[in-house]
Amino acid sequence: METELQTLVARLSTHRVLPRTDAQVRRALTDDLFYNALNERLAACGLELVEHPYADNVCLRVRRDMEHAVFGGEDAWLSNNVGLKRDQIALLVVLWALLILPKRSRQHERRDAPNTQRQNEMFAVEKPLPTAADIGISVAEATLVADFGDRLGGRTRISIALPMLSRLGFIERRNGRISEGPLLDLALDYSRMAPRVLDGTLSELFGSLAEQAEAPNEPSIDSPGEEDGTLNEEQPPESEDDVQLP
């Protein structure tokens, strides 16, 4: 086990992110003894494993109690923003809201689906949660510029930021569309960021949508995003400290 622990820590440090389907990662997530030994080894170095059942990958990050010692500076707080500027971090949050929130909504629907939906199956089995590839949510770059260009520095600033986010592993770009990268679902803490985005940044938008849904003869709105994972309007985050990057 000692060799496998050393190998897994070294691979996580080198590759930054590993898929949950990796053999050593699967062992870490299913073997309590191995998982505890891994956490003890990482904690001794001021690190911790970042994983949750809805993400397709795992990675490492600095422990929260070590953040001040690592990122605290004499003049300013050196947040782990991997070189991203304020408008680029704002774009990252926007993309997280457009890609991760709709994915998580569908994963929750699959998890909470009543057993009556499978009554017609002779041998019903628990189906795995859909992955990002299964759901296939993406955002057109042209739509992103049209909807958020005036808030995020215009087409030029967005065209500079997108390649940076792609190189860092947050997004993937193909044929003019943006999809989730291996780090996007791990970079932002869903339990902390989702309420801030839904109840804070987008509260006015969702308030108006709720009023329309309650109005007579109006179609109801079941989820915050459209099928293609796009929204019409959003504000950038107020502070870079709202984003916790691995």
pLDDT in tens, 49-108: 998 888 889 999 989 888 878 777 655 555 566 778 888 888 998 999 889 888 888 877
Token match 């998580």: residue? 104
Residue 11 in domain = yes
Q: Does 222 score more than 70 pLDDT?
A: no
Residue 78 in domain = no
Same domain, 116 and 199: yes
- pLDDT digit string, tens, across residues 135-162: 678 999 999 999 888 888 889 999 999 9
Same domain, 50 and 172: no
d(CA 143, CA 231): 9
Q: Does 124 score more than 70 pLDDT?
A: no
- The pLDDT score that the predictor gives to residue 131 is 61
Same domain, 42 and 112: no
Same domain, 101 and 221: yes
Residue 149 in domain = yes
Residue 77 in domain = no
- The pLDDT score that the predictor gives to residue 69 is 80
Average pLDDT over residues 6-26: 93
Same domain, 41 and 97: no
Same domain, 66 and 128: no
Same domain, 146 and 64: no
Q: Highest mean pLDDT range out of 19-28, 109-118, 202-211?
A: 19-28
Owning domain of residue 90: 86-242
Same domain, 206 and 236: yes
Q: How confident is the model at residue 196 (pLDDT cuts 50, 70, 90)?
A: confident
How many angstroms separate the Cα of 137 from the Cα of each of 22, 174, 205? 24, 13, 21
Q: Does 200 score more than 90 pLDDT?
A: no
d(CA 31, CA 10): 19
- The pLDDT score that the predictor gives to residue 234 is 45
Same domain, 47 and 95: no
Same domain, 63 and 92: no
Same domain, 11 and 109: no
Domains held by the chain: number = 2
Residue 109 in domain = yes
Residue 56 in domain = yes
Residue 202 in domain = yes
d(CA 244, CA 195): 15
In the predicted model, what is the mean pLDDT of the chain?
76
Same domain, 94 and 63: no
- The pLDDT score that the predictor gives to residue 232 is 44
The four Cα atoms 53, 56, 58, 61 give a dihedral, to 10 degrees, of -90
- The pLDDT score that the predictor gives to residue 3 is 92
- The pLDDT score that the predictor gives to residue 231 is 43
